[in-house]
Structure 1
Amino acid sequence: MISRDQVETMIKAALPDAQVQIQDLTGGGDHYQATIISSQFEGKGLVQQHQLVYSALREAMSTEAIHALSLKTFTPQTWATLGQSL
């Protein structure tokens, strides 16, 4: 299993400017929901944005430390338009 902090650290290592919020959906440390805001998503489609995150978590996902991951990705501009905060 992997902790929320470890998931966040791995994402921030690949996307240094990212604002990240991780939720453990089951309390078991293997099903997560991540909300990520990064300028590196600019000009990329949703699939490409998610591929960036999956790439950051490749090792944890390939060893099944993470069984399920729900992603919500946003550019800073899109996030600001929604008027939300992490």
Structure 2
Amino acid sequence: MQLQTQLEELLQKCSPSHLEILNESSGHGGYFPGKESHFKVTIVSDVFQGLRLVQRHQKIYSLVGDLLAPSKIHALAIHAYTHDEWTGERPDSPNCAHAPKHASS
């Protein structure tokens, strides 16, 4: 089973009203088609109500921790919101210093 699918299944335990998982592996060094190493998660759920940012991340890590291993997911960006906080927009990811370089024209 693909890592992205596993990630999605585990995060369903938060009963999200919005869940977006982006595979950002292609923007990082060592990329090849099908690689799953870097993900960005945007999740909206009221299970985050009253939790500080670090507590929200801890909740996510407790669900998906087994996927965070050198042979699996290398990096996971988390954007966790309650329904009241969600504006419909998520922040862009920064460029990776080790991203594949493209020849300039």
Normalising by structure 1, report the TM-score. 0.82
RMSD: 2.1
Report the secondary structure of 1:69's partner residue: strand
The match for 2:23 is: 24
CA deviation string 1:14-68 (max 9, x = no partner): x1x1131100001421110000111000000000001100111111114641110
Q: Please report how far the alpha carbon of residue 73 of structure 1 lies from its aligned counterpart in structure 2 after TM superposition.
A: 0.7
Report the secondary structure of 2:84's partner residue: helix
Structure 1 consecutive aligned stretches of length 4 or more whose deviation exceeds 6 Å: none
Does residue 10 of the first structure (1) align with residue 10 of the second (2)? yes
Aligned length: 81
Larger strand proportion, structure 1 or 2?
Answer: 1
Report the secondary structure of 1:43's partner residue: coil
Letter in 2 for 1:3: L
The match for 2:51 is: 44
Normalising by structure 2, report the TM-score. 0.68
Partners of 2:63 and 2:55 in 1: how far apart?
13
Is contact 1:7-1:57 (8 Å) kept?
A: yes
Unaligned runs of 5+ in 1: none
Report the secondary structure of 1:73's partner residue: strand
The match for 2:96 is: none
Report the secondary structure of 1:77's partner residue: coil
Letter in 2 for 1:12: Q
Unaligned runs of 5+ in 2: 27-34, 91-105
